[in-house]
Structure 1
C-alpha cells in the first residue's frame, strides 16, 4: 500500500494539465468511474495520459490505471474531508496554483510561451484549475489528519527491522557528511560602476527610440528571457525578487524604469500590461562580474577564516553560520543536506550523489579534516572561494541498527503510516458506492476497488 503514501504530491504537471490538452481532438466522453456522488470522466484520464506522453514517456496502458487509481483515492479523501468539515482557504489555493504556474513557466520558457501552449491566459487557466486544486488540497488535508500523530518508538523500530528478511536487507554505499564555507567576492561601488554604466547606456538607447526587444535580444544577460526580447510574461508580487517587484508594481504600462540593482545585477524594465494583481514586464539585465581585486579580497578573507578554523580558534559550525555566503547551508552550520531525502533532512549523503567538485575536494580527506580554500563556480554561475569539511565517512555496508537507525526508523514509520491508511481506505470502500467502467477491470492497481463483476464496492 506504499503507493498511497504522499499520493497527491505526484504528477505536478499531469494532474493540473487536464485543460492544457483540451484543444486536442478528444474521444467521445464516457464515465470511467463513480465514487459516491462524484464521477470521473474518461476525458480526464485521456488528457492526463496525453500530457504524460508529451513529457517524453513511453506509452503504457498501466499508467491510465494509475491515473484512475489516483482519482478514486482523491475522491474518497475529498468526500470524507467534506463530511469532517475540513476547509481549504482561497489563499491556500492561490498559493498552490501560483507555485505550480511558476514551475510550469520555467519549463515552458516563460509565461508568454506557457500561455501560447495552454491557448489561454494564465488568469483563465487559474480559474479552470481552481476546482481541481481545491479538491486535491482537501484530500491532502484529510490524509494528513488520518496519519497525524503517528510515530514509532525505538522498540517498534527494532521489531520492524527484525521482521525484515535478512537476505533482502538493503546495501548502502559509502556515505559522507560534508560541510562547506563559501565566500563570494564583494565589489565596491566604484567597481560596480562599469556594470551600472553599461545598463544606463542600454536604457538610454531605448529612451532614444531603439527597440526594447531588439536591445534585450542583443545585450541582456538574462539567459531565460533575452531570446524573447526580455519578456517575463505576467507575474504576481511573490514571483520576483523584491527589488524587481517594488519597481514593476509602482509603474504604469509603457513606462521604462530607472536602472536598479538586485542580487542578479543591474536591470531596467518596461511595464507592458497590468491585469488585476498581475503585471507583465520585460527587462534587460547586466550581470555583475567579479573583478580581479574583488576576487583577491575574497581569497584573503577565506584564507583568514580557514586559518582560524584549522587552528581551532573557531569551530567550523560557528564559522559557517557567521561568515559563509551560501544561504542554503550557512544556517545549518555549513552542512550539506541530502536533497533526495528532504523530509528527514539528513546530512548523510551517498558519495556518488555529491557534486563532482565537492567529491574531489574531500576524496583524500580523513574525517575531521578540511580541504584548502579553492576558487569555484556554483550552479548559478557565481564565482567565489570555498573550503570543505569532511565530518564523517561511512563505509559500504548492509543495513544494521547501529549504523542506520535513522533510515530504519524512517522506513518503520512509513510502514506504520501505510498500514493506517490501508485500514482507513478499506473501511471507506466498504461503505462507499464505487462503480468502475469494465474497461478498467483488468487493471492490477484497481483490483482492491473491485469486488466482482456485478458490484465494485471495494474489499481488500
Structure 2
C-alpha cells in the first residue's frame, strides 16, 4: 500500500511539473491549423496513463501526440459543423474522472495533497480538455453515423481471410437462471437497523460523519472516502435513495431508511439542479442460516414444479419472470447476458467467460434441462440459491458464416468504421497545415502527418 502511495505521489508530482512546464519551460510540439499542441499536453497525458497503474512506456508518448493531433482535427471540423456538448455532459465526465482519481489516491484529501492544490482547482484545469475530448468524440460519431454494413459487406469482409487464418471460436453457451435470495424477517434485520440508528445519533451529536463512515460503513467503494458518493442524478441511485436525497437541504442529514442494499442514512453536501453530491453510511443486515434454509426450500419447490413439465425456453422464461429475485435477468427471460458485450444484449457467452461456479454446474447438463438448486456465492460474498437452465451449446470451431454471422458482422462493421475514420483523417490532414517538432517526426504513428516542407514554404 505504501509503495502504491509513493507511485501516486511521483505521478502527481510529474503532472504538477508538466503544468509548471506549460507556464515556463514549455515548447510547441505540433501546430494543427490554428491550434497548437504543447509538450506539457503530452507529458500530462502520459502522467494520466501512469496514474492508471500501468507500467512506464515512454514510447506511448508518440501515440498520445497522434491522438492529440487527431483530436485537434476533429474539434476544428466540429466548429465548422456547429457540433457542441452540453455543460451538464462536461460536468458529468469531469466528476466521473475525479471520482476515479479520488478512489485511486485513497481519498480526496490525499489526492489534493498529491496534486499540491485543491481538487476543485484541478477540476477547473481539466475541464477544457474534457470538453475538447467530448466534442471530438461527437464529431467522430457524426463522421461514421451513415456507415451501414450489408450482408454483402459481411461476405466480402469474411472472404478477405484465408481459411487457415480464420479465428477459432471457443465453446459458447446460453444459460438461464432463477435466483432465490435469502429474505430476512424484520426481527432478523432489527440489529442492523438499530446499529444504523446509533451511528445517526452519533452524527447528530457532533461526531465526524466521514470518520464514522470510514470505520463502520459497509459500502466498500465510498467508505474509504468518508462515505462520499460524488455527484449523481436520480437515475444513478436506487429509488429509495433518490427519494431521500432530493428532498434534503444542503448540509442536512436524513433519517435512516431501507433499500435493497440495507439500511442507510445520508447527508446532502451540495445540489446543482437535478444533480446531488452526497455521502452516506450503509449497514448491511447479515444473512442468517434460517434465511438460507427458507431460500433453499422455495428454490426446491420451484424446481419440483419445473420437473413436472418438459422444460422449454418459454416455460423457463415464465418461471424466471415470476419467481426470480434477480432484477436484471428475470426481465430477460431469466437468461444471463454476456457481461463483456452488454450493449448488444447477447445471451451467448464463451465458456471461459462464464462464472466458474456456473460452468461447473452446466458441464454435465443436456440442452433444455434445468439443474437442481445450487448455492452460489458471488464476488461480493453474497449467497443465493439458483436453478440453471441450459438453452444452447456451441462447440469450439473455426469461424464460419453459418454459425457466426453476428460476430463477423460486428467485426466487419468495426472495420468499415475504422476505414471511414482513416479516410477522413487522410483527407483532412492533406487539407490542414500540420507542423511537427523534429523530436516527434520520427514517431512511426506520425509518419506522413506533417505538411511537406515545400508545401509549408508556399503557405
Residues 25-424 of structure 1 mapped to structure 2, 5 A cutoff? 27=21, 28-207=25-204, 215-226=212-223, 230-232=226-228, 234-238=230-234, 240-248=237-245, 250-251=247-248, 256-269=253-266, 273-274=269-270, 283-310=280-307, 311-312=309-310, 315-424=315-424
Q: Please, what TM-score do these two structures have when normalized by structure 2?
A: 0.84
Match of 2:440 in 1: 440
8 Å contact 2:227–2:281 — kept in the other structure? no
Instruction: Tell me how far 1:446 sits from its aligned partner.
Output: 0.8
Instruction: Tell me how far 1:269 sits from its aligned partner.
Output: 4.1
Q: Equivalents in 2 of 1:205, 1:72: separation in Å?
A: 55
Unaligned 5+ segments in structure 1 are: 1-17
8 Å contact 1:206–1:212 — kept in the other structure? yes
Deviates more, 1:243-252 or 1:137-146: 243-252
Distance 1:409 1:53, change over 3 A: same
Q: Equivalents in 1 of 2:213, 2:14: separation in Å?
A: 32
Q: Equivalents in 1 of 2:167, 2:45: separation in Å?
A: 35
- Give the secondary structure class of the aligned counterpart of 1:328: coil
8 Å contact 2:435–2:451 — kept in the other structure? no
8 Å contact 2:230–2:279 — kept in the other structure? no
Q: Equivalents in 1 of 2:342, 2:455: separation in Å?
A: 42
8 Å contact 2:154–2:409 — kept in the other structure? yes
Q: Equivalents in 1 of 2:229, 2:118: separation in Å?
A: 11
Q: Equivalents in 1 of 2:323, 2:456: separation in Å?
A: 62
Deviates more, 1:213-222 or 1:441-450: 213-222
Q: Equivalents in 2 of 1:148, 1:355: separation in Å?
A: 36
Instruction: Tell me how far 1:369 sits from its aligned partner.
Output: 2.0
Q: Equivalents in 1 of 2:302, 2:456: separation in Å?
A: 68
Please give the root-mean-square deviation of Cα atoms over the aligned residues, in Å: 3.1
Instruction: Tell me how far 1:119 sits from its aligned partner.
Output: 4.3
Instruction: Tell me how far 1:439 sits from its aligned partner.
Output: 0.5
Q: Equivalents in 2 of 1:316, 1:203: separation in Å?
A: 45
Q: Does 1:24 align with 2:17?
A: yes
- Give the secondary structure class of the aligned counterpart of 1:352: helix
Instruction: Tell me how far 1:232 sits from its aligned partner.
Output: 1.7
Q: Deviations over 1:313-354 (max 9, x none)?
A: 761222223332222322222222223234433322221111
Match of 2:4 in 1: none
Instruction: Tell me how far 1:60 sits from its aligned partner.
Output: 2.4
Q: Please, what TM-score do these two structures have when normalized by structure 1?
A: 0.84
Segments of 4+ moved more than 6 angstroms: 277-280
Instruction: Tell me how far 1:259 sits from its aligned partner.
Output: 2.0
Unaligned 5+ segments in structure 2 are: 1-10
8 Å contact 1:45–1:68 — kept in the other structure? yes
Instruction: Tell me how far 1:233 sits from its aligned partner.
Output: 6.5
- Give the secondary structure class of the aligned counterpart of 1:367: coil
